[in-house]
Structures are given as structure tokens and as C-alpha cells.
Amino acid sequence: METQDPAARAIRAVIAGSVQGVGLREATRRRADQLGVRGWVRNEDDGTVALHAEGPSAGIDALVAFLARGPRGAGVAELSVHDVRVEGHEQFAIRGVSAGGFVVQEHASSTRHFDLRLEVAQTMRSWAVPKGPSLDPAVKRLAVQVDDHAIEHNAFEGPTEGGGVVVWDRGAYERGGRVPWPEALDRGHAVFVLHGEKLQGGFALQRTGRAPSSQWLLLKRRDDEARPGSDVVAERPASVVSGLTLDEILQAGPPRS
Ligand code: MN
């Protein structure tokens, strides 16, 4: 990545009008890249498009002029812009779009644990979380990075030799943060938003040692989906696929061959 001068200026903007479903986010990302501007753009539920942009003043001015017109096919009715503090973004990202799937499998083998897997470049990056995820932002859960798994394994549930697996949660996830993926993972700090049946909202994985340490912490970020004081693993043990708990699968015994 090319070295950038510290961003001179940062703005937040809201664009209203006929601005969703018209290629505005992709066109804005391309223009921002041309201008050396970093940040993000996102469709909001109210039909507007929100944007954070930071970089050289001339680049910000040019991006604002671009947004005021909009790309061909967009109808910008109103553009509001105000200055905010520089956050240190290293990319211009489209936020609020799925980056792929995630799954949490509860797994009994020599130990009993949960495996959090995030789809990254056609494979599932994986962390074994002994106590499982939490929706309580005060709780930090040890997460030990383990070997990548094949995407085909995400749907596996049932008894195994000496144990078993249930699909405890699954869904799509979005990438967040100021650093592009997978570099964010390589650098040991990744922010993401889960859209599961049990797990919702922002989470972070933070490596606790220097690379290649496999020890990380999994944290729930403070947002509307946080549930302080809750224990989602205890409250909702059943598989999102079969409704069975891991105990029920283990009681059924090893697979018949
Ligand atoms: Mn496992």
C-alpha cells in the first residue's frame, strides 16, 4: 500500500434522493480511490447514503463535488456535509454488504468448545473459543486460532468418532474497521458485524500476542445488539439446523459405519 500523508481533513456526508440501487456506492469508491481519499460509504435504512471520507483537502473537495452531482443514473436531491475528526482509515470501503458466511459450531472432541469460522477468500478462518461467544461487551473470550476449514464443513452436524458437532449459529457477516481484510487479520485486529440467528451486531477479534501467536480475544462491541449480563451459550444451546443440543447428539452415540 502506498504511504499516505496524514489525512488533512475528514467529513461525514448524507446523500438523499434517488441514491440507492443506482451504483452510487461503487462509483464513489472508485472516485475516492482516484483521489487518494479513505473512509466508507453505506446505504442507510431510510433510503439515504451515508459516507465518511478523509484525506487531502483537495481530494475531499473533489469528492464532495462528485457527490453533489452523483454518478449517471443517480438523482441527488440533497447533500449535507460536516467536518469530523480523522479516524485513520487505510481503505475506502463499501459498508453494510455481506463479505460471506460465518458459522459457529459447538464441538466435542478431546475438549468441548465452540469453533467460530469466518469466510475469507474461499476458506473459513477458524478460532476455537472454549467458552463460546458472548453478547455481553464486558466479556472477553479466549479464541485460539486453528487451521482453516473448508466451506463445505460449515453445514456439518452430527456424531463423530469420539464426539460430535452442532451448528450452533450461522449467517452472513460484514467487515468493518479501518484496515482492509485479510490484512486486518494479519495485523491481529479485525472488526466485523454478524447476522446470525443468535449472534447479531459488531464483534472484534484481537490478537493478544505478537504474530504468529495463535491467542486472540473475541469481544462483543457496544451497539444496539449488545446484551449486557446475558449468557447466550447457556440460554440458547440448540442447533439452528436441527434444534438438537450437542448433549442430545452425543447421547445418540457414534456414527454407524
Ligand atoms: Mn473444533
Say if residue 143 is in the same domain as residue 243. Answer: yes
CATH code assigned at 40:
3.30.70.100
- CB 196 within 8 Å of CB 104: yes
Distance between CA 158 and CA 166 in Å, rounded? 6
pLDDT at 140: 97
Domain contains 171: yes
Say if residue 64 is in the same domain as residue 91. Answer: yes
Say if residue 108 is in the same domain as residue 234. Answer: yes
Say if residue 120 is in the same domain as residue 239. Answer: yes
Say if residue 148 is in the same domain as residue 200. Answer: yes
Domain contains 257: no
How far apart are the CA of 49 and the centre of ligand 1, in A? 40
How far apart are the CA of 156 and the centre of ligand 1, in A? 12
pLDDT at 153: 95
Strand partners, 192: 175, 203
Copy the grid coordinates of residue 190: 479485525
Distance between CA 46 and CA 20 in Å, rounded? 10
Distance between CA 111 and CA 108 in Å, rounded? 6
Q: Which range marks the domain in which residue 48 is found? A: 8-95
Say if residue 117 is in the same domain as residue 84. Answer: no
The domain tally of the chain equals 2
Domain contains 3: no
Sole residue written with cell 447457556: 234
Sign of CA dihedral 30, 33, 35, 41: positive
Say if residue 14 is in the same domain as residue 136. Answer: no
Active-site annotation holds for 125: no
Say if residue 24 is in the same domain as residue 128. Answer: no
Copy the grid coordinates of residue 231: 449468557
Q: What is the pTM of this model?
A: 0.91
Say if residue 63 is in the same domain as residue 114. Answer: no
Question: Of 73, 95, 117, which residue is a domain's last?
Answer: 95
Say if residue 157 is in the same domain as residue 172. Answer: yes
Which of 31, 43, 117, 175 is catalytic? The answer is: 43
Amino acid letter, 232: V
Q: What are phi and psi of 90, to 5 degrees?
A: -120, 10
Distance between CA 247 and CA 17 in Å, rounded? 53
Copy the grid coordinates of residue 5: 500523508
How far apart are the CA of 165 and the centre of ligand 1, in A? 8
Helices and strands: H and E segment counts in the chain: 5, 14
pLDDT tens for the chain, residues 1 to 257:
444 556 689 999 999 999 999 999 999 999 999 999 999 999 999 999 999 999 999 999 999 999 999 998 999 999 999 999 999 999 999 999 999 999 999 999 999 999 999 999 999 999 999 999 999 999 999 999 999 999 999 999 999 998 999 999 999 999 999 999 999 999 999 999 999 999 999 999 999 987 778 999 999 999 999 999 999 999 999 999 999 999 999 998 777 66
Question: Of 95, 123, 141, which residue is a domain's last?
Answer: 95
Say if residue 61 is in the same domain as residue 169. Answer: no
Copy the grid coordinates of residue 165: 458437532
Domain contains 2: no
Active-site annotation holds for 43: yes
How far apart are the CA of 138 and the centre of ligand 1, in A? 25
pLDDT at 5: 59
Question: Of 35, 65, 95, which residue is a domain's last?
Answer: 95
Domain contains 50: yes
How far apart are the CA of 103 and the centre of ligand 1, in A? 12
Distance between CA 186 and CA 120 in Å, rounded? 12
pLDDT at 2: 47
How far apart are the CA of 146 and the centre of ligand 1, in A? 8
Say if residue 119 is in the same domain as residue 240. Answer: yes
